[in-house]
């Protein structure tokens, strides 16, 4: 999962075989490594296990559960609890802990399903909020439009964010359109309505 890179000193690989959870965790781990390695990038290998441990024992924003608890059925005891003789550490009894762990493991499938439902509910709320603010644009053939500029066309922060004007020549459905210049030259590829806006002369 972790490989050394020639430029940044650390690279977390992304492969098609990994699942969505790994893909979402990698940027979080990479961000944690960058924060800890500002002054000493050469020791990234020594910091990996600390970053991974912090990720596994931190409640996730999507389901309010830690990855550790969803795997083992109980919260991890972090090192500071042992070093500072926390009540949880002082009151630890092996027999009672084993009994409670068995109960937690019996309920683990239900907890995982509840976490999945919470994550799905959050995802739908985000999608609904995004969709409610999204302004759908519909264009007709011969409408004049402007096209969102490509990043390479933006020389600086003051560069125009829109280019053109162009004429709509065909509406393909699903908010896709074909364009041409006012001189009649066809613009390659199709363009989505989110990248277009009306041009008013």
Residues of the chain with pLDDT under 70: 1-24, 38-42, 134-136, 157-158, 201
Side-chain half-sphere CA neighbours of 99 within 13 A: 4
If one counts the domains in the chain, the total is 2
Q: What is the pLDDT of residues 24-43, one digit of tens each?
A: 677 777 787 777 776 666 67
Q: Does residue 107 sit in the same domain as residue 53?
A: yes
DSSP 187: P
Query: Looking at the domain assignment, is residue 42 inside a domain?
Result: yes
List residues bridging with 177 in a β-sheet: 171, 191
The per-residue pLDDT for 11 is 44
Same domain, 107 and 154: no
* 110 inside domain: yes
Beta strand pairing status for 191-192 and 196-198?
A: unpaired
Domain CATH number, residue 181: 2.30.30.140
Residue 183: inside a domain, yes or no?
A: yes
Domain assignment present for residue 139? The answer is: no
Is 138 a member of any domain? no
Cβ-contact 178, 168 below 8 angstroms: yes
Residue-range definition of the domain harbouring residue 68: 2-132
User: What confidence score (pLDDT) does residue 167 get?
Assistant: 92
98 within some domain: yes
Q: According to the model, what pLDDT value does residue 179 have?
A: 92
Q: Is residue 78 part of a domain?
A: yes
User: Residue 141: how many CB atoms within 10 A of its CB?
Assistant: 11
Q: How far is CA 75 from CA 68, 84, 96, 116, in A?
A: 7, 18, 15, 18
Task: Decide: residue 161, CB within 10 A, 0-12 exposed, 13-18 middle, 19+ buried.
Answer: exposed
Q: Please report the pLDDT score of residue 12 as a whole number.
A: 46
Write down the pLDDT at residue 64.
84
Q: Where are the beta strands (DSSP E) in 40-194?
A: 144-148, 162-173, 176-180, 191-192
Give the model confidence (pLDDT) of 1-22 as tens digits: 444 444 444 444 444 454 556 5
> Does residue 66 share a domain with residue 126?
yes
21 and 95 in a common domain: yes
pTM for the predicted model, two decimal places: 0.47
Domain end: 132, 161, 184, which one? 132
């Amino acid at each position: 999962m972790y490989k050394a890179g020639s430029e940044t000193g650390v690279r977390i690989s992304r492969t098609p075989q990994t699942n969505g959870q790994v893909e979402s965790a990698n940027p979080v781990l990479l961000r944690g490594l960058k924060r800890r390695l500002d002054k000493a990038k050469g020791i990234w290998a020594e910091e990996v296990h600390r970053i991974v441990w912090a990720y596994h024992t931190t409640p996730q924003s999507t389901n309010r559960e830690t990855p550790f608890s969803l795997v083992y059925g109980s919260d991890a005891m972090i090192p500071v609890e042992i070093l500072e003789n926390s009540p949880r550490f002082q009151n630890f009894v092996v027999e009672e802990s084993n009994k409670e762990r068995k109960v937690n493991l019996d309920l683990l499938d239900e907890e995982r399903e509840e976490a999945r439902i919470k994550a799905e509910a959050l995802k739908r709320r985000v999608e609904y909020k995004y969709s409610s603010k999204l302004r759908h644009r519909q264009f007709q053939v011969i409408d004049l439009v402007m096209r969102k500029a490509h990043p390479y066309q933006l020389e600086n922060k003051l560069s125009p964010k829109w280019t053109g004007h162009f004429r709509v020549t065909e509406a393909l459905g699903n908010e896709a359109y074909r364009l041409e210049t006012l001189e009649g030259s066809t613009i390659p590829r199709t363009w989505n309505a989110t990248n277009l806006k009306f041009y008013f002369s």
